[in-house]
């Protein structure tokens, strides 16, 4: 099982509880690579605006991911996940091919339909029919990345003889984040990997999500073993100062406890976990790496 780190991108992700700077993002990425972990991930949002008016800002995800790709050489990289609503499908496919070139074949294209309505409203994106828009978007992106010339006239998207030049140098894997039945079926039909999040140690809800994804495969008639299962988890280091915002679901025990939780996910057939670390510091990365070494013996 692969183990990756969600890199700081906004809000209180910085090591002192504020907006992370580029040197702080870089330090986390290099710690992830140097520690022997497998991947680095960046969330894609414009902002978070709570019902009480509280706001949190974010750096732009794809720009940061491209910068990380240029200064690392081994770890897989991906958005967790790219919001389809924010980028035209042809543009997103072109971006993916370019970033895969910059990273020398390390991109995992994580995608989803989005969920936070205030950022849609603030930046002028339509929030209606998100799954329908996503389904058309993903078909176009998937076909372009497969090397096809694509003509597609849907309800929400139109392309006419679109082609990627230069062509992808390899088959870029697509990870689809999904929870509800229709999105699960899209992931089961098109995805190379699927993501569900956010959890602490394995529990009944995780098992139910995995079972729901198996059922989606049955409905679409695809072998479930052909799609990798990935799970986003939260891990807290109790020996470091807690960040301003913590999550009650976090795995907050010893390194052995973290290794035991990882082992539980492996036993469930999960192929990759992406960990949000509390706090987001190189020390937390090293702690996760130590747990991963225990997992792998």
What domains are defined for the chain? Answer: 2-296 (3.20.20.30)
Radius of gyration in angstroms for the set of CA atoms belonging to the chain, rounded to a whole number: 19
**Cβ pair 278, 236 in contact under 8 A:** yes
Mean pLDDT by 10 residues, the chain (297 residues): 98 93 98 98 96 93 98 98 98 98 98 97 98 98 98 98 97 98 98 98 98 98 97 97 92 97 98 98 98 94
**Cβ pair 253, 236 in contact under 8 A:** no
Tell me the C-alpha distance between 175 and 141, whole Å. Answer: 12
Crossing angle between the packed helical segments 89-102 and 130-145, to the nearest 10 degrees: 50
Tell me the C-alpha distance between 273 and 231, whole Å. Answer: 5
pLDDT of residue 53: 85
Q: Which residues contact 239 (CB under 8 A, 6 or more apart)?
A: none
Tell me the C-alpha distance between 292 and 289, whole Å. Answer: 5
- Backbone angle region of 11, left / alpha / beta, with phi > 0 → left and psi within -120 to 50 → alpha: left
Calculate the CA 209 to chain-centre distance.
Answer: 17
Q: Which residues contact 221 (CB under 8 A, 6 or more apart)?
A: none
């Amino acid at each position: 099982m692969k183990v990756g780190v969600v890199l700081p991108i906004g809000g209180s992700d910085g090591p002192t509880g504020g907006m992370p700077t580029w040197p702080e993002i870089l330090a986390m990425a290099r710690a992830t690579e140097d520690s022997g972990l497998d991947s680095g991930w960046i969330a894609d949002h414009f902002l978070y605006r709570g019902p009480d008016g509280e706001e949190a800002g974010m750096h732009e995800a794809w720009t940061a991911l491209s910068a990380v790709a240029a200064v690392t050489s081994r770890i897989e990289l991906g958005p967790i996940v790219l919001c389809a609503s924010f980028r035209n499908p042809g543009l997103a496919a072109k971006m993916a091919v370019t970033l895969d070139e910059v990273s020398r074949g390390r991109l995992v294209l994580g995608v989803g339909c989005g969920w936070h309505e205030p950022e849609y409203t603030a930046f002028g994106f339509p929030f209606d029919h998100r799954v329908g828009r996503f389904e058309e978007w993903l078909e176009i992106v998937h076909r372009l990345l497969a090397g096809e010339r694509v003509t597609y006239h849907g309800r929400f998207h139109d392309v006419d003889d679109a082609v990627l030049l230069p062509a992808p140098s390899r088959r870029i894997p697509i990870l689809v984040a999904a929870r509800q039945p229709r999105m699960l079926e899209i992931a089961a039909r098109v995805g190379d990997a699927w993501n569900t999040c956010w959890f602490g140690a394995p529990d009944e809800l995780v098992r139910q999500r995995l079972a729901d994804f198996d059922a989606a495969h049955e409905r679409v008639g695809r072998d479930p073993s052909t799609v990798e299962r990935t799970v986003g988890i939260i891990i807290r280091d109790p020996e470091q100062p807690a960040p301003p915002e913590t999550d009650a679901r976090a795995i907050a025990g010893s390194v052995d406890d973290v290794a035991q939780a990882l082992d539980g996910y492996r036993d469930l057939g999960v192929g990759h976990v992406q960990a949000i670390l509390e706090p987001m510091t190189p020390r937390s990365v090293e702690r996760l790496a130590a747990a991963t070494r225990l997992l792998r013996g």
